[in-house]
Amino acid sequence: MIKDRFSGKLKEMLSSDEWMILQPEYDPEENLKFESLFSLSNGYLGIRGSHEEGGKITLPYLYINGVFDKSETFMRELAALPNWLGIKLFIEKELIGIENCQILKFSRALDMKQALLAKSLILRDKKGRETLVEGIRFVSRANVHRMGIKLYVTPLNYSGIIEVENIIDGTIINFYDAPRFKVKHTYMTANEPLDKDGIYMEVATRDNHLHTGVGCRIEAYKNGKSILKNRMFHAFGEQGVEFGDFDAAEGETVEIIKYVSMYTEREAARYTLHTKVKEEIDGFMVKGFLEELEAHKTVYEEMWKAADIRIAGDFELDRAIRFNVFHLMSTGNENDSRVNVGAKLLSGEEYGGHAFWDTEIFMLPFFAYIFPETAKNLESYRYHLLEAAKANARKNGFKGAQYPWESADDGTEQCPDWTIEPDGSCYRCYVAVYEHHVTAAVAYGIYNYVKITRDLDFLLNQGAEILTETARFWASRCEYVAEKDRYEINQVTGPDEWHEPVNNNLYTNYLAKWNLRYVISLIDTLKKGHSKEYDTLMEKTGLTAREIKDWEIVQEKIYLPRKEGTDLLEQFEGYFKLEDVVIEKYDEHDWPVRPEALKTKRASQTQIIKQADVVMLLHLMGQEFTEDEIRKNYEYYEKRTLHGSSLSPSIYSVMGLKVGDDSKAYRYLKRAAFLDLLNLQKNTREGIHAANTGGVWQTVVFGFAGVSIGEDGMLTVRPHMPKEWEGLDFCLRHRNSRLRITISRDNSVSVKVLEGEALEVNVNGQIVKAVRE
Ligand code: BGC
């Protein structure tokens, strides 16, 4: 058992192996990856799994979701805020740390059940003194403004004075190890004692001057008695350090507890921040570290009851899937509709914390089925930013609402126009200029959210307004080509970013058509049965019967490329004329090897694609295509997809199952589930691939369990269990009920109602009544 690697109290506290992700040894090369894997988030903030004592190889970022800043960089990005992890222990000036000492024993483990990070180290300094340092940290979900660290420090072969530095580090800068991209997003407004002891630091973002306060207090106990002496606060520029010391005796364990709190001006007035933080810490200390941890664990217990997936007979995969669910559910925020979930969650700096289509297409289904309040917040986030999307459309010469390819806090386009190469040359980045399908994803997200949650109120009000404005965008984005009597979307990039730009990307055109079609019928429904909402919509959007008529024509005549006379859909106009290069080899991880042809040619000259594109369309709109079409297109494009994006394997897995390609589907699921754990994309140091976490969930639930909602609104379960699995078990919400779905090896299914009313479900083609357990 992994917990056997920990001693004493810690061992008793930790969970069994299916909940644990272990780092069994320290390898500096792997440290940044583990910082991402071991990041903790409570939805409000996220902190990477950096070591308390710091070090040279670290990207020790802490982000509060929604705190963005631009300063000298190309875009608004989540600002790295002061890091409060710092606890340094010294014996006669020697730091007890991984980089300074010989590591005699090393284990770190993420306990996903309790959402805490544990460590156990034996470190030997240059003079041969050995210290056992164990500990845990957590960011409370019971009270998102409380974070804590508890260390157990035991001198193994010496006695003496241990000096302590308790640190809040405000020097952290974004892109710390990337020359030219480095940027400091905050300036310091306070670095002072919290109270009679402790540290308080306040920083403000440089553009909007949004203040964040962070405070901490530290205590040391031996046998329940407080022993930290000679406390002293020093402000070292942007570092706040509190010194103290205690007498340590061989074989006797000292417990060090650090209590931390953070608030921003988004939750408390600027002039109250210091008091707010201090009072929060006082409250935390009165309650006690372990009691707060208990409350936090109770929240996670409930979250896991809702979200856990259990696979019997495939232990490693079961745990890897749990890992993905853990990070996704931890980052979702059920309390704040001003924040989204960034492409790297809150676990790393790539993409600046921006929301992409990743949210609606990959993550939203998980939240809609499991945590509908969070899903609603994600939808409301887009509604709050509707005006900004309208301004974005105007800026680009279009009508309606064009959602930015990358979205931060204010809804303006945050995809950089330029990027800098190491030689200082700048290269123009055209992604935001051409990649427009995010606007369709927002529209599709509303449809899907409502289909799953039945939140009709949202659909008839905010949803209808967004859908109208996005439809208006698409109508203005389409060009009428008289000689062909059709509408086209030219100079556009589809999901496959290796062909940029193209004309008439099928995915984009199809979803534009769908958006127009869907809103036309929605408006009709409003007109017939919801006159109040209809009137409001008309008034707010200024929509006319004439405009709707025009939309009818546009959607009817949008060009949808395909190979004439065949079932093959064409990714974009002219795709089939490109050199036909196919994938022929797979590496030891069963991953496609870049075809030789790409040594002399760019992918854009060939049919090799980065990620699911036509296949993504079939995933979203499968009901509009025949089984034959789906199979033939899957087979065609699968041989030409290199999965250069993490947004691809999960979709190929789900679609593989649809077409009966079971063994590949299983391999794709493995790829997706281990993508970050094994660093398969080689960039996990930059953060967890958020879309993939949602994709993994979809692969299991929509793919292997075969869950879907029919046009009649009935939940369908039609599993395809891989031969490796003995059983599959998970929960989801449908209508007003919470259901447990259990699937056996032979694909037989039991659906039980855990909460709410009994209901009918279509299981393997039979209508069955699901009743209470
Ligand atoms: C993918 C996009 C994705 C983005 C953020 C890119 O590499 O091609 O589809 O939205 O990453 O995850």
- Is the domain of 345 the same as that of 302? no
Q: Examine the pLDDT at 469 and tell me if it is beyond 90.
A: yes
For 374: left if phi > 0, alpha if psi spans -120 to 50, otherwise beta; the answer is: alpha
- Is the domain of 135 the same as that of 252? yes
98 vs 52: CA distance, rounded Å = 10
Q: Examine the pLDDT at 424 and tell me if it is beyond 90.
A: no
**Ligand 1 lined by 447 (C-beta under 6 Å):** no
**Ligand 1 lined by 495 (C-beta under 6 Å):** yes
- Is the domain of 299 the same as that of 323? no
pLDDT tens digits for 71-106? Answer: 999 899 999 999 999 999 999 999 999 999 999 999
| Residue 734 lies inside a defined structural domain of this protein | no
Question: Mutate which of 442, 497, 646 to test ligand 1's pocket (most atoms within 8 Å of Cβ)?
Answer: 497
Cα 164 versus chain centre, distance = 35
| Residue 743 lies inside a defined structural domain of this protein | no
Q: Which of 671, 688, 704 is the last residue of a domain?
A: 704
Q: Examine the pLDDT at 19 and tell me if it is beyond 90.
A: yes
Provide mean pLDDT across the span 659-664.
90
Q: What is the pLDDT of residue 722?
A: 94
User: Containing domain of residue 672, as a range?
Assistant: 317-704
| Helix orientation angle between 649-658 and 662-673, rounded to the nearest 10 degrees | 160
Q: What is the pLDDT of residue 194?
A: 98
Q: What is the pLDDT of residue 719?
A: 97
Q: What is the pLDDT of residue 179?
A: 85
**Ligand 1 lined by 497 (C-beta under 6 Å):** yes
- Is the domain of 295 the same as that of 334? no
- Ligand 1 centroid to 477 CA: how many Å? 22
- Ligand 1 centroid to 94 CA: how many Å? 45
- What share of the chain has pLDDT > 70, as a percent? 100
Q: Which of 704, 728, 757 is the last residue of a domain?
A: 704
Look-up of token digits 């780092």: 23
Task: Write down the H helix ranges in 233-314.
Answer: 273-287, 289-307
Q: What is the pLDDT of residue 329?
A: 98
Helix H or strand E encompassing 30: none
Atom 11 of ligand 1 has which residue's CA nearest to it? 645
Q: Indicate the pTM of the whole model.
A: 0.98
| Residue 756 lies inside a defined structural domain of this protein | no
- Is the domain of 300 the same as that of 322? no
Q: What is the pLDDT of residue 177?
A: 87
Q: How far is CA 231 from CA 200, 214, 224, 261, in A?
A: 15, 19, 19, 20
pLDDT tens digits for 399-413? Answer: 999 999 999 999 999
CB of 710 within 8 A of CB of 665?
A: no
| Residue 109 lies inside a defined structural domain of this protein | yes
**Ligand 1 lined by 686 (C-beta under 6 Å):** no
Q: What is the pLDDT of residue 176?
A: 87
| Residue 757 lies inside a defined structural domain of this protein | no
The residue count for the chain = 773
Question: Mutate which of 349, 356, 414 to test ligand 1's pocket (most atoms within 8 Å of Cβ)?
Answer: 356
Task: Write down the H helix ranges in 478-613.
Answer: 506-529, 531-541, 545-557
- Is the domain of 368 the same as that of 514? yes
**Start-to-end Cα distance in the chain:** 32
**Cβ-based neighbours of 546, under 8 Å, separated by 6 or more:** none
- DSSP of 317-379: HHHHHHHHHHHHHHH--SS-TT----EEEES--GGGG-B-HHIIIIIHHHHHHH-HHHHHHHH
Q: Does 746 show up as a binding residue in the annotation?
A: no
Q: Examine the pLDDT at 663 and tell me if it is beyond 90.
A: no
- Is the domain of 135 the same as that of 269? yes
131 vs 631: CA distance, rounded Å = 61
pLDDT tens digits for 714-742? Answer: 999 999 999 999 999 999 999 999 999 99
- How many structural domains are present in the chain? 2
What is the overall mean pLDDT for the chain?
97
Half-sphere exposure of 441 (CA within 13 A, CB side): 25
**Ligand 1 lined by 561 (C-beta under 6 Å):** no
Q: Does 314 show up as a binding residue in the annotation?
A: no
**Cβ-based neighbours of 42, under 8 Å, separated by 6 or more:** 115, 139, 140, 141, 144, 330
Q: What is the pLDDT of residue 440?
A: 98
Q: What is the pLDDT of residue 122?
A: 98
Question: Mutate which of 358, 364, 617, 684 to test ligand 1's pocket (most atoms within 8 Å of Cβ)?
Answer: 358
- Is the domain of 296 the same as that of 323? no
Q: Examine the pLDDT at 537 and tell me if it is beyond 90.
A: yes
What number does the ligand 1 atom closest to the CA of 645 have? 7
Give the CATH number for residue 567: 1.50.10.10
Retrieve residue 545's tokens.
């019967």
141 vs 298: CA distance, rounded Å = 9
DSSP 594: P
Q: Does 304 show up as a binding residue in the annotation?
A: no
Q: What is the pLDDT of residue 590?
A: 80
550 vs 533: CA distance, rounded Å = 22
pLDDT tens digits for 366-401? Answer: 999 999 999 999 999 999 999 999 999 999 999 999
CB of 335 within 8 A of CB of 43?
A: yes
Provide mean pLDDT across the span 628-635.
97
Residue 306's φ and ψ, nearest 5 degrees, are -80, -40
298 vs 549: CA distance, rounded Å = 54
| Residue 731 lies inside a defined structural domain of this protein | no
**Ligand 1 lined by 84 (C-beta under 6 Å):** no
Q: What is the pLDDT of residue 257?
A: 98
DSSP 526: H
Q: Which of 670, 688, 704 is the last residue of a domain?
A: 704
- Is the domain of 324 the same as that of 188? no
- Is the domain of 288 the same as that of 344? no
Retrieve residue 356's tokens.
């992409």
- Ligand 1 centroid to 153 CA: how many Å? 44
Residues known to be catalytic: 497
| Residue 765 lies inside a defined structural domain of this protein | no
Give the CATH number for residue 116: 2.70.98.40
Here the contacts of 726-730 (C-beta below 8 Å, separation 24 or greater) are 726/312, 726/313, 726/314, 727/310, 727/311, 727/312, 727/313, 728/309, 728/310, 728/311, 728/312, 728/700, 728/704, 729/309, 729/310, 729/311, 729/312, 730/308, 730/309, 730/310, 730/700, 730/701, 730/705
| Residue 538 lies inside a defined structural domain of this protein | yes
76 vs 354: CA distance, rounded Å = 9
- Ligand 1 centroid to 336 CA: how many Å? 25
705 vs 556: CA distance, rounded Å = 35
**pLDDT band, residue 657 (cuts 50/70/90):** very high
- Is the domain of 282 the same as that of 358? no
What number does the ligand 1 atom closest to the CA of 495 have? 9
Q: What is the pLDDT of residue 178?
A: 86
Q: Examine the pLDDT at 9 and tell me if it is beyond 90.
A: no
Q: Examine the pLDDT at 589 and tell me if it is beyond 90.
A: no
Count of other CB atoms within 10 angstroms of residue 263? 24
The C-alpha torsion from 506 through 508 and 514 to 519, rounded to 10°, is -160
Pick from 683, 698, 694, 700: nearest CA to 347: 683
- Is the domain of 301 the same as that of 358? no
Atom 7 of ligand 1 has which residue's CA nearest to it? 645
